[in-house]
A and B are shown apart, each in its own frame.
Chain A
Amino acid sequence: MKMIVCVKQVPDPQASSTGTKVDVAAKRVIVPHGTPPVMSPYDESALEAALKIKDVHGGHVTVMSVGKNLARPVLRKALASGADELILLEDNTFDQLDSYATASILAAAIREIGTFDLILCGRQAADTDAGQVGSGLAELLHIPCVTVACGIELGEEKVNVTRIVSDGYEVIEVMLPALVTVSSEIGELRYPKLKDLQAAQKMPIVVRNAGQLGIDVASLMKLNLVSLSPPQHRNVQCCMISAETPEIAGEHLALTMRGAGLI
């Protein structure tokens, strides 16, 4: 079972959820100083899904990431967690990429690898929230794609994917090779053991740049970012209800809501 997991490095969305600013002139999001880079959480779940399959059925897990100035310690965590190989697609031009360019770079690198059974991606990245690279990559590689998986079961040359839909869930059988995008319900990435963290430091990392991949980013970009602005917030003044005890505050809240005609 040969699996490829595509992961994106993003500023920690937990740390950056408050205090994030927008540099309107530069059309960039400025995260608070000291926000560490992390693997995008859904991508971590995608890696966990691959590792769960490897736990039961064995196999080989290659982790791939596209970007500029990729942080080695962040991505080595994938090796420490149980991935076998890390390939960084890194170039100074791999910056502010759109979904089409990102999927094209991944497709070029995957074609170099040649054969594979299953590609796993997170359902969407924590920074751009575009939600397209997985589906797009599958199209570029002419393989079927199932999105937003909350469960994956490996069968004979196929996988059964459970996915959430509006009024419940469905199970899709998909022939391999295939691509599956993963949602958080599949579980968080396991914590690596200390000895695995140490061992991961010594594992080699493959790095490929644009020239080696035969990629010209400028010719791949299909979207222009015209402007970036801060969001508009609901403008309300919260009426805080306090009382001697939390129990009384709860009663007062109900009474206030009745007074205001909310209930």
Chain B
Amino acid sequence: MNSYNGIMVYVEFGENGLLPITRQLLGCGRKIADELGEPLSAVIVGSKGIEEGSDAAQLGADTVYIVEHELLRQYRTETYVAALEQLVRQQRPTALLMGQTYVGRDLAPSLAFRLETIAVLDCIALEIDHASRVLLLTKPVCGGNAVATFTSMYYPQIITIRDKAMLPMEPSFGKNAHVVHFAVSLEPRSFKTRLIKKVKEEGEGLRLEEAAVIISGGRGIGGAEGFRQLHETAAILHAAVGGSRPACDNRGVAPNRQIGITGKIVSPDLYIAVGISGSIQQMSGCGQAKRIVAINKDPDAPIFKYADFGVVGDWKKVFPSFSAKLKELVS
């Protein structure tokens, strides 16, 4: 049908090794590759020392590409696009899968336009139309009010996938990939951007990614002062604190604590929504939570369509006694 062959997965690492989304991409990539009868590869981009990660990234892949260069020490759009452009032009995969992460959502569209192909971001399903062998790319649109499925005749297809939309690859899956060092040539003078500062700002308390319980506040909580109460309760429950986009815009919580379509996608065991209306943009970020509890003054707020338990009332009156009772019960 075309001269493109193989599914390629862009690998991302965090502080604790391979990101969970990468394991999910390898799981989904292996399935698609098998259905198409094509190979699966993983690509790791970075500077000296990244080959240490090749072991972790082998999970189910036939080949692991190591793209190593001094200019790739930290993620920058133009250096990473230039490096991946060279690899993808040579390897010609059918599809390149990335996580819908801070990196993926930046990298995918630039790379797609560079390669004169298409990107579809934030996919929640990836299937094959068996008659045409074309990929069916499904993603939420209109802030989650509809779900669209796209196809394209342009290759390679650059696809980002939403965290937790796919099942991760079993960690026990075979690890016997070929490791290939791919040499890139990057001309420093051709780049127009420079990273001048990188600041870690995790915000207070547990990180959203690692908490089993999340307390999230909305517009109604106001600024940092209102969020203080949420933080105090979070400490009792060993929970992380997050917020909706309006809450972040009000500087109630740090921007990287935003939960929703433009922030992080979380799936805790328990999600306590305080003063959150439950707009579909917000719920896209936490709809996977096992249990949801909501406090909101508006009985018609959409959040009560998602919640297991709810109280209609002003959070300023409901929350302090809720928090005090929790403290009593937990201690």
Q: State which size class the interface on B falls in.
A: 35 or more
Interface stretch among A15-23, A108-116, A196-204?
A15-23
**B322 touching A251, Cβ below 8 Å:** yes
The contact of B150 among A22, A224, A252, by CB within 8 Å, is A224
Bound complex: CA of A167 vs CA of B13, how far in Å? 13
B interface, by DSSP: helix, strand, loop or mixed? mixed
Is the pair A239, B143 in contact by a Cβ cutoff of 8 Å?
A: no
Q: Give Cα distance in the complex from A246 to B311, angstroms.
A: 8
Contacting residue for A229 out of B108, B146, B248, B322, CB 8 A: B146
Q: A226-B149, A230-B146 are in contact. Are A173 and B293 (CB under 8 A)?
A: no
Residues of chain B contacted by A241 (CB below 8 angstroms) = 309-311
B102 near A17 with CB under 8 A, answer no
B314 at the interface (CB under 8 A from A): yes
User: Is the pair A250, B280 in contact by a Cβ cutoff of 8 Å?
Assistant: no
- State whether B308 touches A238 (Cβ < 8 A): yes
Question: B304: CB under 8 A from chain A?
Answer: yes
Query: In the docked arrangement, what's the CA distance between A177 and B35, Å?
Result: 45
Assess the A263–B318 pair: CB atoms within 8 A: no
Residue of A147, A168, A185, A246 near B249 (CB, 8 A) is: A185
Residue B330 CB within 8 A of the other chain: yes
Shortest CB distance B154–A (Å): 5
Q: Is the CB of B194 within 8 A of A172?
A: yes
Which of B77, B150, B304, B309 lies at the interface centre, i.e. has the most chain A CB atoms within 10 A of its CB?
B309
Partner of B109, one of A99, A170, A229: A99
A29-B142 in contact given A251-B325, A254-B326 (Cβ < 8 Å): yes
Interface string of B133-167 (1 = CB under 8 A from A): 00010011111111111111110000000000000
- Report if A225-B201 is in contact (Cβ < 8 Å); known contacts: A131-B109, A247-B320, A262-B293: no
Name the CB-closest residue of B to A161.
Answer: B193
Q: B173 contacts the other chain (Cβ, under 8 Å)?
A: no
Which residues from chain B sit less than 8 Å from chain A, CB to CB? Answer: 14, 76-78, 101-102, 105-106, 108-110, 112-114, 117-122, 136, 139-154, 191-202, 213, 237, 245, 248-249, 255-256, 261-262, 270, 279-281, 287, 291-295, 302, 304-314, 317-326, 329-330
- Shortest 10 CB-CB contacts between residues of A and residues of B: A250-B322, A139-B113, A254-B325, A246-B313, A250-B321, A246-B317, A168-B201, A132-B109, A135-B109, A144-B192
